[in-house]
Each structure stands twice: as structure tokens, then as C-alpha cells.
Structure 1
């Protein structure tokens, strides 16, 4: 294919690197013709003749130290035409001390764990990782050196653990449908095993992973022996049905049924199609909304599974902010003075979405994501004649992301990415294209990365912009260094499908750090960082952001974590965003701040996190300070509670509040923010869990002095402005859920949710009355039940045959 030839040619021009090499462990697996029962007994005859992987070495904290003979680990692998099978004996001379907290899926908790890392292409670039806890909990993730471990990815696999008098036993069945590999008749896979002994806070791997080298996947061992497998069709159907019962103080109780279908289809051994028809995201986690007084929108986490699972390709270049798809509609409409909105939509509905992703045997990764949202309107009334009209707040819209990512030399890549938003009718369209590179030398000691992105906006005014970056780093050894730079032009805009707050600037930044690679007499881990950052407004070359920072992160011999640091900004910063008017700025003075963080060992039943912090504006009575305190208690392996309290105060904070005639109005204000949160879980088993999540947020900002912003960025007192722009915002969220994975990939979940929010301009500093006012005629209730059933085409085919 032409694109593949062109990109491969580019690699040859841009890099002269060779793959990382070392003496690697290897293991050869045997094919089994008998049925393997996943029961953690390993009593099938095939297990007795399987080759053993052993002689584990410590990864952390004492990198390279052989495992104690009393904790030896022995792993075997079998395969057939459907899956690979993993059996492990994890010896422990004190089995009664094995930690085994029961948690929900993808949560390690406080427990021993065993994992297998599989790279079907043996290219040193991406692992499929599967973990089991000593309590039987499953975890799985995709892992790359650039992004790390992405636990939002989920696969369907079978497993069992058993505690014995000599330690514990693991047995896994990982279907080929959960992996990606080449179609060749003889397979060679990258392979590693990992074991964590939680009470000792020690992690061991089968093949030694040298912590001096800034890469893990390239240091894997090798799995040989898989050949001539006949992989089954990868077609999975996940139908679902949901019922919602909604009630509030303002509306009558009403019920709603929803149903839909998710489809996963393996186009071949490398590429997979995922599609959702009539999506339902009603049970996703609530957003932690805040009182936002700044010039930029609040950025939220993505909690919808379709947009979080296996999206590592689409995250390249940070051009995708998937919350744009189906976001809350913008109701800043151009209305006449006698018009008002009397009915508005709470969300823009997603009609359907699909993605194709995977990577072939030559290292070419391809990703294609497409989603369509429906036309959405708001009802606007005329107060003079009582007429109504419908105003389009979002037209029918198509969102698209296309990615080509070529890996080479086992540790480098070049990426092409394009995002496109097309809106029906005479609405704004947007296109963003990026070419990215991430290059490492053969020993993984040096890294060069960066890219060039361009945006093109078709609107009332067409604009084009660019975003360029370059980063150089030394990535191995005790001492490591990096330097980088960014340039963003005035008209670069990726906000239709991405998120970007600042433009029209250039920046330079650097880091030097030192770390210990093995424990010493005081620390298990220790690292000190020196950071610097300078950002310049391009038209004037003025500093709009700057910072010098030194911080320390460490773990002592009792596995308590200590961290802290100092921030120093010795220059005035010219803020071109707070005034909300082009080419106007506010001058922020120099400041000095610091913080401290302590987190006690989570192995203990009681643990405590505490984090005080403060920043002081030099030569002014202006500061911000806060503290976060979070105690947690694990009553037993099933039940735990975590409470978090955060208090944040800003004294004499300065910020924009309004426009008056041609003046920009700023205020000196005192702001207090209180956040109380409680999370709890009760796990009946690793597949049946109750979870509670509660958050109360209260923030009030009281304006003490009104000012007019001058042309030179200073402030002058304003004695004529009389509008009340104080802010008092409270919100409450409670989620109580029950989840039962009644079969692999199949789940029933019940969620009770209530929430409330209030905002007014009256300052009431009484916590009790604010809290009670929050619930007065304002509480919404939702009870929902959802059932998702996983159907494997191959199993369903047998059902029909038997029928």
C-alpha cells in the first residue's frame, strides 16, 4: 500500500536506530489436545510435561535481586486452537500472611498478584497484560512505553486461584480473541511474568527488567512453540436492556426503558471493529463539577466505556477530547431582549459510534473512530406575544478520527493522525492533522519526540493554525535530563474534537532528576526533580507563565511515601486570558509556594494521606492555601471506607467579573472551597460488589473591592460599579450501586443516584444552612437497572446446532 511505503521510507530518513537487544529468557509451550478445566488444580496430564519458567528476579525495590527460594515461582503455558493456558505455583512459606483483599475488576487493592505480559508481535512496543489477585480478582490492560498501562481496556478471559498450604495457585485461560498477533504459522511472542508480594511491597519478574533502562516492554523474554493454530471467528454480541425510574421535587416520577447492542468483530487477527447501536451511558460516573471562575472551561474525565476502552491509538498527539461527542449543549444563543429559553436539552444524544483498531505484523497500527450525534434544539419563547420557536443548539454532527501509527526498531514510532468534525447545514466545520514522531536509540538511553499539527476551521471566518513541539531526553540511568519546546500559532484551534486553552505563544521547558535504582539504608525509593518552564506571548515576547520547581518523592523502609516541593516564579506574568478581551492582559506579580505530601503504607488497615499546600504573592497580602486529608480504613478483606476532606482558601484573589461600557471589571475577592467525599465498597466476591460514592462541594467567592483593568495590566479602584457578582455554589452527588458479573463479559448492575446543585449571588457563610438549602425542592432521584449479556458467536453457533 502506498501510505505504508511512504511512512516506511520516512523512518529510514529520520532514524538510524537498531532494536534493543540482550540475552533473553525463553520458554517453549506445548499444544494440548485435552480439555483444560480452569479450577487452579493443574491436574491435567498436559501440565505435567509442560516446560517451567522460574528463577524470578526482583524488579522493585531492590532491582535485580533473585527471589528467595521460599517464595519461588513456577509458571507453565499450554495452548490449543482456542486459547493459551497459564498455570502458576506461587510458593510462600507463610501462606496465612498472603494478602487477599476482595475488589472489583481492575482494582488491585491490598492483595498479592500475579500477571502475564504478552506481546504477540514481539516488537517491544505493546503488551497485553492480564493479572489475577490472590482473592481471584481480574485485571487487564494495554501497555505502551509512551502511555503506560491503560486499564480501561477489558478482555473476556477465564481464571481461578486457590490458596494452599505452600502458597497459592493460578490458572488462566486467555482466548486468542483477547490478543493480537501475526497470521504466520509459527508464532514468536514477547513474554514476561510478574509477581507482587504485597506485604513486603516487592515486585518480581521472570526475565530481569533493568530499572537503569527507561523501557520495560523491550526487555521481555520469548514464548516459542505456538504453531499452526486455527483461530476461531472473533464475533461478539453484547445486547443490553435498561430501565430508569426518574423522580424529583419539581417533576412527577416517570419510567423509561432503553435497549441496544454492542458489537465486537475481529476483521482479522490484527484488527477489530467495535460498534454501539443506540448507546446508553446512564450509569456512568458523575462529574465532579466545580465553581469555575476562570477563563477556561472545566475539563472532565471520560467515563463512557466505549470511549475509554482500547483507545491508545486515538490518544496520539492529545488531539481527541472525547467528551466533545455528546457534550452538554451550549445555550449561549443570540436571543432578542424579549426572548427567553423555556425548554432546553440536558445533553446531545449520541446516535451511534464505531471504531476499527489494531496493528499488523509489520508494526502498522490503524485506528478509525466515527460517531454521529443528533440534531438538538431548544424551545425559545417571546414574552411579548407568547409565541415559541425552536433554535438549533447542535446540528446533526459527524465526528471522525483516523490514525496511522508505524512502529519500528522495537522502540520507535511515527504517527499520522487526523480529526474531523462536520456539521450539517451552515455550521462550523473543523479539521486537524498531525504528524508525530517518537524515536529512541538502540539502548533506550536517548529519546527524541515531537510533532507538527495543523488546524483548519471553516466558519464565518476561515482560519488556519499550527502547533509544533520538540522534546529531547536522556531516559536511563540515575541522572536523567530533558529539554523541550512548543510553538502554537494564534489561529490553531482543535477544540471541536480536542481541548486546548492557550494559543499564540511559544514555550521552553527543562527537567533534571536524580533517582536511586536500588534501596539504601533510609529509602526504598528516592527521586529529586528540578523543573523550569517559560511561556511567552508571541506578539510581545512577554512572559505569560513561568515557574521554577524542585520536588522530592520518596518511600522509606516502612513503605510510607513522603513528597514535597517548592515553586518559585521570580518574574511578572502577563495573563492575556483572564481579561476575556483580545490583546488585553493582567499583570500577575511574582510568587513563591510549596507543598508537602504524606501517604502511609496502604498495607495497614488504617492509612492516612495528607497534603498541605500554600502559594504567596510576594509583597502583597495575597495568598492561596489549602489542605487535603484522607483517612482510610480496611475493616476486612470485603469492606473498606475512604473519606476525603479538602479545604482551599484564596485571600485577595484577583479575577474578572464583568464588562461595563468599555471597561473590563476585575475584583479582589476572598474564596473558600470545601469538598467532602466518601467512597466505600463491600465485596461479596470478586464478581459481586456494592459501591458507595458521595461528594458534597461548596464554594463561595465574595468580592471585596471592585477595580477597572488598565491598559498597562494594572488595576484602578472602581466606585461606580454596583452589580452583585458574588458566587455561592453547592453540589451534591450520591451513587449507590450493585454489580454482578454473572458470566464472563455479562453484567447486571443496579444504581441508585441522587443529586442536587444550587447557585446564587447571596453569600451565606453558615455551612449548615447552605447544606440544608441545597436539598430544598432541589433533589433529583434515579433508580436504574441494566443487564448486559455477552454472546460469543462460536458458542451461540453450538447452541443452535444442539437445538
Structure 2
């Protein structure tokens, strides 16, 4: 079967290569020549282009429309000038507008991209892959980011120092931008050429126009830039930036009588620093000592019933900057050799305490320090080295009147080394990565952790025919070392499940002290030219592959084949602005050759000329087996299912806008179902204030939901039941922008999930075609609920003796999290944060309604509060 799927993939992909098709028309590269200011005074950044220094260069304009109708004349034209001196590069923009009163001046916090704006992209390495982005809204709001992977990735948490002023006059609006050369990375060549692009958003018609034309079927973004000439004898600015911070934190929470760790309030005064040192003109050393990320928004709530870990995005600034260099996504979107959320994680240690004892466990592991050396050289080398040390963490214990502590997280060192080299006129690259995790396991009861973990990977990509076609791939290998206890636990973990009873290729070896695995991916396809795109590939993860010490791996023991075909319109027609339709097929196998999944996906994204958006998708799974659902038990069959979703997105330019998302999934014979209604409502009554609310209600039903496993006469029993889960959540956001540098934001999310089970059963034929034949239901003579002990007692052979019992799995989880953050950038690069966070976490009553739980567990309880003041100051040396 695997060979048949690979043959299908090869036929699917390579048949396109021999089909006739047009080539990308040659688009002339635009060139702008700047000049050095010399003895002339630099422009005053006031938004008014009257300085004599602007007169030494010519205007460039003639923007071309990109969206909605590519390669046509835009509604309004734009032009700009560029000059530079020894320390700064300056941009002056003139954005014409026949109706200056109609210009939309929406305020937002940094990186908001609201209203009318102008953007400049600078590829100072001119590597056809990466660029720096600076955008200026007419309201004076700055947006900036780092572009990588030829425009596929835009990292918005990069916040450089730069200066902006705008002005509206009777011709439209103008902007002046001053960017320190120290914020850019470039070579030391005596005369340089940089990639250059500029985009204008004309808000009223949601039009985008470009300085350098880039067709919609182009192979990427950065590779198609125009050029900036005239950069002669630039002096790299190897400056040092030091940003110390001082933080005071007050925490209040409900007091617990007798608990020495719950006195009702805690106060902490702390400090640390971040530093950025330019080692060379294109390589930077970032340092952080005792960092605190108290102003970072909390993760959204979620309930997991399948046992797998949840992937959360990184939001901490130190780890986000230059994230693209360290990134090594080797398989699916989330599988990565470096998952920075592992650094500073919640302590994993566990210990036993007697009843009546009190314990206080840290919420996270303290990062003693971290250093990151990264950048890209003029020869096309991307280099990244990250070193971080996290402290030993102890739980405080009060037991029998005696104070003590237990180690819950050892002193740990994390290392990541990454390198990548561009060649073949930047059309190809080859790279490598190495990661290492080493723990000081000074206590025997931490032997369930790996003592060390190492991964290595090699990746490559080649584009040809003007980037019309591509081929890319990677190989990875991992090794973890530890005690017999640790390696046995890894073999039995949800990601591996070597104890599966029907897996002929797997077995648990409790004497092993290491595991080594491999993985990889190959993909090839067509990336540009015309309406059609396609790709196909194969991914594999061997059973012993393990990445979760510093990376992220959901599941090993998998071989996946996939094929993707897309058609997108390149010109508006009728009422349609753009339509993109995708067809995808994938098949999964394990390393024993079991055929576990076949899936077909059809989706379409329709944008109307009135800027409304409709997204439809349908997923059909005729074959669907799981190696993990019984968590060590045999392979289990899901019924074939059909998933449908519809999303309606209103015009984002309106002050009142909304999204409606409907999801529905049904298993054959109604064996399981999932329905969700998700609504997002945004109201912006004035330019400075925005309110949004995002309620979501879901209903999850599964007649064969796995609960637990036990034994009867030494024979395993895998218990399932009929699941009914209701979940209600609402995300609320308020944004008030006093000015571009002073903003107030609120985020709150009540979350309630109620789970109830009935009709208990045991698995008897896990791969039966009909879902009812996979289990045997307990009859009323076999199962009895013991209210006193809150458990189900089972007499399987009906001999009036309890054979085994199941703790009542019903539960209700209630959580409320909120953040109120006032941020003031009082001088460029230096900030003051005032933060108020609230939190409630409770186990509710599963017999109550969701609304009753909202009243009793959230509105009726005293929350924990955190009040935080953080002040940073950036020194430039």
C-alpha cells in the first residue's frame, strides 16, 4: 500500500512538469539611486517635505496596482525620495489624495496596520529571502517586522528604534521616516545594492499599490524587489544597546487559613537587563539576564481529552527576534527541532506529601540568562547560536509544622546552533542544526527526566526556472539519554506507545538508557506562474524519534504522503475580487505498514469586490485508524467522517464588522459528532477606540470516547463511554490608543467546559467496521455507581463480586483570565508597562448548566490579582 501511495504521488507531481504552461514574463527591475547628504543638514522629521536636503535627489513614483486588479493604474499615485548620512537613512513620501478629508486616521498600538498607510521594505542583504519592513500609518502609528522565507513569514515582534512624522495637506498626506543604520544589517562592501519595495494601502477601496510591480503569480515577495543604488562607503554601525528593567509585582489572592503559602498577598521587587551588541555589521549578540515577561498576554484556555500536548505560539520578545534563523520545521507546521517555550517551562518535578501538608510550586522555571548570536553575512551565511541556563527550582513544603523544600526542576542548559548557506544566485540553500539539552539531575526522584537530549538536522532547497519549480527536504536524527526509568517512560509516552499490544515492530525494553530516532521530509512542486499551484511530498518519523526536551513532536511512528493542488484567479471578475480553491489528499501509515488514514480536503476562499470574504471547506476521511487513542492499547478504528466548515467575514474597513464561523463534523452511523459556532464582533466607534467580543459555543459527542484502562483476570480492559461535552468561551478585547506611543489594552476570557459520560463499555474488537461491534456495553447488572466513593463498580462476570472500578470521569473546568496593560513608549525604545492581571481556575459541578457555572465559579468567586509595574530604559553606546 505504501508503494502504491508513493507511485500516486510521483504520477501526480511529475505529470505537471511535462504539461505545457506559460513562463513568468520578465518584469523589469526598477532602480532608485540615492545620495549621501555630505555637509547638508539632515531633514527635520516633522512630516513636511520642505528641507533643502530632499532636493539633492529625484522623486520616484509611478506605483502600479497590485490588489484587487494587478498591473493597472491605482486610484491615487504615490512617490518618494531617499537620502542618507553616516548614521541614518531617510525616506520622504508624498501620498496624493483628491479628497484629503476622506483619509482614514485610525489609531492603534504599534503594529496595528489600521487606516491608510505606506510601507517600505529593505532587503539590505539582498538575498532574495529576507527584508526589514517599516510601515507608517497616516495617524503616525509605526508598524515594523522582519520578513523571511521570501515573504511567507512576517515576524511582528521585532521592534527597532526609528522615527516617524506624518502630515495631511490639501494634496493628500506626507510622511518622513528616519531609520538608524544600526537597526539594519548590511555588508561592508564599498558600494552596495539593496533590495527595495514600497506598498501603499488606500483604505477606502482596500487597494494596494506597489513601487516595484510584483504579479500575483510571482514565486515570492522579496525575490521580486527593485533595487536601491547609490549606497557608497556606508559605515556599519556596530553599536551597543543595553536595556535594563525594574519590576515591582504585587499578587493578591484568597487567603487560606493555616496555609503559610497562601497569606493573601505577596510582593516582589525584581530587575534584569537585555542587551544587543553588534559584533560585526551583520551579526548581533543578544543577551538577557533574569528576564521577566509579565507583560506578555496569557495563553488561551483549552481542554485536551486525547492526552497530547498543546502547541502555544512564542510571544516573549527575546525568543521572537531572529526566530526565522533558528526555526527548523521539519514535518508538519508544529513539529520543530526548536520550540522555545520549553525554556522557562513550568517545573515538571513530582513528589509525595502527607495529608494536611501545604506546598507551593513555582509557576515557571527562572531563566538565569540567555545569549543569542545571530545574523546573516554578505556571503549568504545565516548563523544562529543560542545558549540558555535555567535555574534549579524548589517546591516549598510545610509538613507536620516543619518547613522544607523539594527540587522540582533541575539546573538545565539549553543550546541551539543553526547555520544555512545560500548559493546558486540565492536560488538554493543548504543548512544544518544542532540542539542539546543537559540537566543536572542531582536527586534520584528526578530520574524520570532525560539527563541529556541531542538532535541534528540537515535541510536544503532548490528553485529553478525563475523559481517556478522547487524541491526541498530535510533529514533529522535524535538521541535522548537517561536512567532506565526515564527511557522506559519515554517509550510508554503518548508520542511513542511502544507498549501497544498489537504492534509487532515495537516493544518496551525497560533496561535501555537511550533512544535514537530519525525523521525527514521531501517536497516538490510548482510555486508560481499562472493560476495553478501544486506540491507533493512524503514525511516520516521513526518510532524512536524524540524531540520534546527542546523541540516539539506530537507523534512518532508515522509515514505520511500528501498531494496538494490549488487554483487561484489573478483578475477580478463579476462580483468576485479573488477566488482560491484547494484540493488536498493525504495518507498515513506506521512503520509496521498499517494503513491508518486517507483524507481528502476541498476548500475555497472567495473574496467579493465589496471586501466580504467567504471560506468553505470539506474534509472526507474514508479510512481513519488511531494508534494512540487507547493509550497503549491496540490500534483503534474511527468511523469514516465528513467535516464541513463555513466562515463569513464582513468588510474589515467598516467600523462595525464581524466574522461567523460554523464547524460541523459527523461520523458514520452517528458514532461521533462535533459542532461549533464561533462569532467575532468588532466595533470601532472612533479612530482611537476598538472593542471586540468573540463568543464560541461547541458540542462534542463521542459514543466511544476512551476513558481508562484496567485489568480483569490479568487481561487488559480498555474502557470507553458515551461522551457529551459542552464548551463555552468568550474572548473580550478593548483597545484605547491615546496616541501612537501611549496605549491601553484589555483582554479577558471566561472559559467553561462541562464533560459528562454514560453508557460505559469495553473494547472487544477495536478494528470492526461498525462502531457498535468495537465495544461491549455493560448492562445494568454489570455496572453500579457508588455515590459515596464517586466511582463506577463493575462486576463483569456477574458473580456478585466487584471485578474493577472506574472513578467517575465527569468533570467541569472553569477558568477566567484577563490582562489590562497600559504601555507608554516615553522615548523610542524605552517603555513603561502598567499591568493588572486576574485569574480564576476552578473545578465546577458537571451537573450544573454552563450559565450556572459562570455565575458560581467566575462571577461568584474572588479572583487572584497581579499588579505589575515594569520600567525599561534603552541605552545606546
TM range (shorter): over 0.9
Counterpart Cα distance in 2 of 1:272 and 1:341:
46
Deviation at 1:660, TM superposition (A): 2.5
**What SS does structure 2 have at the residue aligned with 1:316?**
coil
Does the C-alpha gap of structure 1 residues 539 and 591 become closer, same or farther in structure 2, counting only changes over 3 Å? same
C-alpha deviations, 1:579-615, integer Å up to 9, x for none?
121x623211100121111100011111110011100
For the residue of structure 2 that corresponds to 1:570, the secondary structure is: strand
> In structure 1, how many angstroms separate the alpha carbons of the residues matched to 2:595 and 2:818?
46
Alignment of 1:454-473 (within 5 A): 454-460=477-483, 461-473=513-525
1:641 aligns with 2:694: no
2:467 matched to 1:444? yes
| Contact preservation (8 Å) 1:586, 1:709 | no
* Distance in 2 (alpha carbons) for counterparts of 1:433 and 1:412: 21
Distance 1:337 1:574 in 2: 43
Equivalent of 2:134 in 130, 135, 147: 130
Q: How far apart in 2 are the matches of 1:344 and 1:775? A: 27
Aligned partners of 2:266 and 2:358: how far apart in 1?
A: 24
Which residue, out of 731, 734, 737, partners 1:677? 731
Match of residue 590, structure 1, among 627, 632, 640:
640
1:498 to 539, 551, 563: 551
Q: Distance in 2 between matches of 1:754 and 1:691?
A: 14
Residue 418 of structure 2: SS of its match in structure 1?
strand
1:66 is the counterpart of 2:73: yes
Contact 1:339 1:380 in 2 (8 A): no
SS of 1:635 mapped into structure 2: strand
TM-superposition CA deviations, 1:442-490 (whole Å, max 9, x none): 4111111110000011112201000111011111120111111111100
* 1:399 corresponds to 2:414: yes
Query: Is residue 758 of structure 1 aligned with residue 758 of structure 2?
Result: no
Give the Å deviation of 1:206.
Answer: 0.5
Distance 1:387 1:123 in 2: 63
The equivalent of 1:549 in structure 2 is: 601
Q: Deviations over 1:686-719 (max 9, x none)?
A: 1111111110100011001222233635222243
Are 1:309 and 2:327 an aligned pair?
A: no
Secondary structure at 1:188 match in 2: strand
Count of aligned positions: 766
How far residue 320 of structure 1 moved from its aligned partner, in angstroms, is 1.3
2:675 to 621, 625, 648: 625
Aligned residue for 1:65, secondary structure, equals coil
CA distance in structure 1 between the partners assigned to 2:853 and 2:198 by the alignment: 56
SS of residue paired to 1:501 = coil
Give the alignment partner of residue 431 of structure 2, picking from 415, 418, 433. Answer: 415
- 1:89 is matched with 94
Q: Distance in 2 between matches of 1:675 and 1:729?
A: 12
In the alignment, the residues of structure 2 paired with residue 253 and residue 348 of structure 1 have an alpha-carbon distance, to the nearest angstrom, of 21
**CA shift in 2, pair 1:722/1:434, >3 Å:** closer
Q: Residue 43 of structure 1 corresponds to which residue in structure 2? A: 50
SS at match of 1:169: strand
More displaced 10-residue stretch of structure 1: 703-712 or 283-292:
703-712
2:388 paired residue number: 371
Candidates 813, 834, 842, aligned match of 1:729: 813
Structure 2 distance, partners of 1:107, 1:99, is 14
Superposed, 1:340-351 pairs within 5 Å as 342-351=359-368
SS at match of 2:29: coil
Asked if the contact 1:20–1:410 (Cα under 8 Å) also holds between the matched residues in 2, the reply is no
Structure 2 equivalent of residue 738 of structure 1: 822
1:606 aligns with 2:656: yes
What TM-score, normalized to structure 2? 0.85
Give 1:21 deviation, angstroms. Answer: 7.4
Q: Secondary structure at the match of 1:495?
A: coil
Task: Give the deviation of 1:494 after TM superposition.
Answer: 0.6
Distance (Å, rounded) in 1 between the aligned partners of 2:358 and 2:382: 47
Alignment of 1:425-574 (within 5 A): 425=441, 427-460=450-483, 461-476=513-528, 477-543=530-596, 545-571=597-623, 573-574=624-625
In 2: Cα distance, 1:204 partner to 1:388 partner: 68
What is the TM-score when the length of structure 1 is the normalising length? 0.92
Deviations 1:608-643 (A, max 9, x none): 100111001012253111110111111010111111
The residue matched to 1:48 in structure 2 has which SS? helix
Matches within 5 A, 1:165-180: 165-180=170-185
Residue 113 (structure 1) aligned with residue 123 (structure 2): no
Checking the alignment, whether the CA contact within 8 Å between 1:115 and 1:129 is kept in structure 2 is yes
**747-756 or 663-672, larger mean C-alpha shift:** 663-672
User: What pairs up with 1:264-413 in 2 under 5 angstroms?
Assistant: 264-317=276-329, 318-333=336-351, 335=352, 342-379=359-396, 390-408=405-423, 409-413=425-429
When the two chains are superposed, the root-mean-square deviation of aligned CA atoms in Å is: 2.0
2: CA distance, partners of 1:340 / 1:654: 39
Aligned-partner Cα distance in 1 for 2:869–2:403:
37
Q: Is the 8 A contact 1:152 1:310 kept in 2?
A: no
